[in-house]
Amino acid sequence: MNLRVFEAKKSATKARRHKETQRDFVNLRTFVSSWQKISHKETS
């Protein structure tokens, strides 16, 4: 396997991992905002 192929695979893996991290972050933000709404209802 030559170096260019290795670098391409590495960057593809990094991009995929970054996309998954972004998706997890969006899911977390959605979860937190919905949780805040729920807890806000309970306090009021």
* Whole-prediction pTM: 0.55
φ, ψ (nearest 5 deg) of residue 14: -65, -40
Per-residue pLDDT, 40: 81
Tens digits of residue pLDDT in 1-44 = 689 999 999 999 999 999 999 999 999 999 999 999 988 887 76
> Which residue type, as a one-letter code, is found at position 5?
V
Cα–Cα distance measured from residue 8 to residue 34, given in angstroms and rounded to the nearest whole number: 39
Helices (H), 1-44: 3-43
| Token pair belonging to 13 | 């893996």
